[in-house]
A = this chain, B = another copy of it.
Amino acid sequence: MINMVITAGGTIEDIDEVRKITNTSTGLLGTFLCDEAIMYMEQNEIIDYRIHYIASTTAIKPELDEEALNRVAFYDVTNTDSVLQVILDIFSKQKIDFFIHCMAVSDFTTKHLIPIHTIAEEISNKLHDAPKENWIELIEDIINNPKETINQEKKVSSKTDLILTLKKTSKIISILKEYNKDLFLVGFKLLKNVSEDELIEAASLLEEKDKCDLVLANDLQSIIEGNHIGLLIKNKEVIGRYEGKKNIAKAIIYQMLKGV
């Protein structure tokens, strides 16, 4: 039995009951990856496989025929934390062989909404009697753990300017091989308006740090301009250059599954 995970779309972090931090990712590349994986299995007459498709509620989903539907399990996620929970749950139930982490996971989650005047008052009050050498640390601490915040369970009303504190999320990709060192892991590196050398360097760094077996490197500029270009990186070398999401998906699936 071959078990594969595909993550797709962009995460959604709540600010309050109606406002969210979202990502422009549509999830389309994920649907092509799913289609190509199914096609590869069919062409190679492999029937004993399962695809675990983890996508945000807003992502485009693959359109599958009835036979394929029996082999694909869908998992709806919202914020970064929910993605992690679903992955750990899947890992606990079966050994995963292939993992394509295509999802645009938020680097940040929202923490507190604070009126600027309120936080300024709190900082001013706390610094009054504190030694100057502690000020920076004290200010950071107040911003991270403010006394008065706006209740994010309500729809935040809007009398004054606010600050929203954003807390770095833990990188999901970094822990995947800790749970399963035999995983074949495909990572994605998206930058904006950088030189190709910079992009390759950043992708190679990701490959090394998170022990990816393949990395797809792409520049947001090409996506915006409608000619999505992807470089496939393996052992810090470019092993292929592809134009268009379908070709990118086909190349990833071939490179990943060709030994199967």
Chain A residues close to B by CB (< 8 Å): 10, 15, 17-25, 104, 106-108, 113, 116-117, 119-121, 123-124, 127-128, 132, 135-137, 139-140, 143-144, 154-168, 190-193, 220
Which 4 A-B residue pairs are closest in the complex by CB-CB distance? A107-B158, A120-B139, A124-B135, A162-B166
Q: List 29 A-B contacts (CB under 8 A).
A: A10-B18, A17-B220, A18-B23, A18-B220, A19-B21, A19-B24, A20-B21, A107-B156, A108-B158, A113-B166, A116-B144, A116-B165, A119-B143, A120-B135, A120-B140, A123-B139, A124-B136, A124-B139, A127-B135, A128-B132, A143-B163, A144-B161, A159-B168, A161-B166, A161-B167, A162-B166, A163-B163, A164-B164, A164-B165
Q: Tell me the minimal C-beta distance from A176 to chain B in angstroms.
A: 18
Closest approach, in angstroms, between the C-beta of A211 and any C-beta of chain B? Answer: 20
- Nearest B residue to A128 by beta-carbon distance? B132
A165 & B166 in contact (Cβ 8 Å cutoff): no
Give chain B residues whose Cβ lies under 8 Å from the Cβ of A168: 158-161
A128 proximity list for chain B (CB < 8 A): 132
Contacts of A132 in B (CB 8 A): 124, 128
- Measured CA separation A132–B121 after assembly (Å): 12
Q: Shortest Cβ distance from A172 into chain B, in angstroms?
A: 13
Residues from chain B with a CB closer than 8 A to the CB of A24 are 17-20
Q: Which of A157, A158, A193 has the most CB of B within 10 A?
A: A158
Could you tell me the distance between the alpha carbons of A157 and B220 in the complex, rounded to whole angstroms?
A: 14
Q: How near does chain B come to A52, taking the closest CB pair, in angstroms?
A: 25
Pairwise interchain contact A191-B155, C-beta atoms closer than 8 A: yes
Which chain B residues lie closer than 8 Å to A191 at the CB level?
Answer: 155
